[in-house]
Amino acid sequence: MLDHTVKRIDGAEEELSSHLGKVVLIVNVASYCGNTPQYRGLQSLYEKYRERGLVILGFPSNDFGAQEPGTDEEIAEFCSSNYGVTFPMYSKVQVKGGGITPLYQELTQTPPGGEVTWNFQKFFIDREGRLAAMFAPRTQPESVEVTQKIEELLG
């Protein structure tokens, strides 16, 4: 799952394989969505679990309701100033349709993944780089289901 090169929100290229050995939570995010307050929960999870090996990767997407219209610079500023986001953020991508980015193509075609249905869908990658779980967009980051999965994957 992590055999992809992606562009960080600051424009630098990154090999996702650099996160092998960690538990990775990949989330498609948007600034103007009813789920946008989930940034707080994601940041809280990152602060709580990053020392144990959790990394959260935010991928802005404008695929649902045009709820992420900004540039990478505007998105970075929004996340930082409104939610104090310090987890890694990446350049805007497509998570569905003909222009789907290769990472999301793999996430959606590999069980237990599936089609991205809205902003803030959550995909967990285990320490070996395998897709381990997917949670629906409305599932809150700090929900029992998500925190139990984090604890299980962190071991």
What is the model's pLDDT at position 73? 97
Confirm if 62 and 92 have CB atoms less than 8 A apart.
Answer: yes
What is the model's pLDDT at position 142? 97
Distance CA 57, CA 11 (A): 15
Length of the chain equals 155
Distance CA 99, CA 93 (A): 9
**DSSP class per residue in 22-90:** SEEEEEEE-SSSTTTTHHHHHHHHHHHHGGGTEEEEEEE--TTTT---S-HHHHHHHHHHHH---S-BB
The domain covering 5-154 belongs, at the CATH homologous superfamily level, to: Glutaredoxin (3.40.30.10)
| Residue pLDDT tens, the chain, 155 long | 999 999 999 999 999 999 999 999 999 999 999 999 999 999 999 999 999 999 999 999 999 999 999 999 999 999 999 999 999 999 999 999 999 999 999 999 999 999 999 999 999 999 999 999 999 999 999 999 999 999 999 99
- 14, with CB counted inside 10 A (0-12, 13-18, 19+), is middle
What is the model's pLDDT at position 92? 97
What is the model's pLDDT at position 109? 95
Q: What are the pLDDT digits (tens) for 25-44?
A: 999 999 999 999 999 999 99
Identity of residue 10: D
Q: Angle of helix 72-83 relative to helix 38-49, nearest 10 degrees? A: 80
pTM of the model: 0.97
Residue tagged active-site, from 4, 32, 33, 114: 33
What is the model's pLDDT at position 43? 98
What is the model's pLDDT at position 117? 97
Listed in sequence order, the residues at least 6 apart from 96 whose beta carbon sits closer than 8 Å to its beta carbon are 63, 104, 108, 115, 116
Q: Is there a catalytic annotation at residue 79?
A: no
What is the model's pLDDT at position 44? 98
What is the model's pLDDT at position 115? 95
Q: 122 pairs with which residues across the strands?
A: 27, 135
Distance CA 11, CA 104 (A): 19
